[in-house]
Amino acid sequence: MKLSLLQTHGLKILLTIIKSGKETLTASEISKIEGLKTGYVGKILFMLRKAGIVSTIRGKTGGYFLADDKKNITLYDVLTALSPNKNEIELCPNIKEGENCTHSIDCAIRPVFYEAHKFFKHLASNITLEEMANREKDIMSKVKEIKNHYFKEKV
Amino acid sequence: MKLSLLQTHGLKILLTIIKSGKETLTASEISKIEGLKTGYVGKILFMLRKAGIVSTIRGKTGGYFLADDKKNITLYDVLTALSPNKNEIELCPNIKEGENCTHSIDCAIRPVFYEAHKFFKHLASNITLEEMANREKDIMSKVKEIKNHYFKEKV
DNA sequence: AATAATTTTTACAAAAAAGTAAAATAAAAA
DNA sequence: TTTTTATTTTACTTTTTTGTAAAAATTATT
């Protein structure tokens, strides 16, 4: 249950773009605001572009901007894009996508992580960048609301 | 949302001890059963001992055994013991234990992880090694049961 | 006592992840 | 067409995590 620094930086970069109000932002501008190296910001934005989260304009007057409306990009999208094993936030290392667990007989760990991950995915998929650009307090009530609704439906 | 290989190996080692039926098991015996290097098994068991999860008998005829009844050791205990940052399964890297988030003004990530972690902790704290020594199907229904109860109480 | 089998501890090696830096490429502007 | 400023890509460095190996310490047995 860990948010990596890379993911944190990625989120902050995206929030910086949103909060700037500008059409596009360069890696260099972001790096100054966030206190990160330009190359590092560029690398993260490159990963986010490959995931379809930001779009770019190359060359002079170039820069980065959200590929979609901030309402449509979720926390889960961003975390997945910046997860080292790319396709999915990892569950049990014994479970590859589409495969059965090779330890299915004695792997008692899977159901626990399956349930926990399902909830986390649901939570993170229902938080948008727009909402994250607002303050904690607003998010906190939104989180509670999602949780309550989730439990009402699934239980 | 990731279970590290170290944690997986630790869980398997503990389940091996339980399933063996023996009073104690040596690192060498476990390593043969699990196909892991003896040194690696010893290292993991050393970490588990420091966390108070296993006890040991030194010297010849020595070995490892659970420090408490398998009913009383939870999945959460084990994961925490084998988490690289030892005290706690990590949340947001900006939150240190007992401190406020240094990014409190614009850190919109915290509430999401706080809620997800709370649920995961609850889940993992209510699964015991004894239950894990049984089959998946049993665990699955237990997990569902915990989930339902959690939601009924908290919502 | 000496030996053998064990845990304990330390130090090191390998792998993975995170971060840095610089060369290559692209496009606007002078 | 040259220059400037940007993204893109690759390669490398550092750090962290994981795993290996061996020496030290402990205790039962001979």
- What 3 state SS string does B68-117 have? CCCCCCEHHHHHHHCCCCCCCCCCCCCCCCCCCCCCCCCCCCHHHHHHHH
Q: What is the pLDDT of residue B41?
A: 97
Reported as a pLDDT band with limits 50, 70 and 90, residue B155 is low
If you measure CA to C1', which residue is closest to nucleotide D5? A60
Whole-prediction pTM: 0.80
List Cβ neighbours of B130 (8 Å cut-off, separation of 6 or more).
B18, B69, B70, B71
State whether B108 and A135 contact (CB < 8 Å).
yes
Q: What is the pLDDT of residue B154?
A: 63
CA B26 to C1' D27 (Å) is: 15
CATH class of residue range A5-154: mainly alpha
CA A38 to C1' D6 (Å) is: 12
pLDDT at A90 over 70: no
Tell me A68's DSSP state: S
Mean pLDDT taken over chain B: 79
Q: What is the pLDDT of residue A14?
A: 94
Model confidence over B30-69: pLDDT tens digits?
A: 999 888 999 999 999 999 999 999 999 999 999 999 999 9
CA B42 to C1' C4 (Å) is: 19
Minimal CA separation from B53 to chain A, in Å: 18
Q: How far apart are CA A80 and CA A10, in angstroms?
A: 11
Q: How far apart are CA B33 and CA B24, in angstroms?
A: 14
> To which residue do tokens 């439990």 refer?
A151
Tell me A73's DSSP state: -
Q: Is B63 helix (H, G, I), strand (E, B) or coil?
A: strand
State whether A75 and B112 contact (CB < 8 Å).
yes
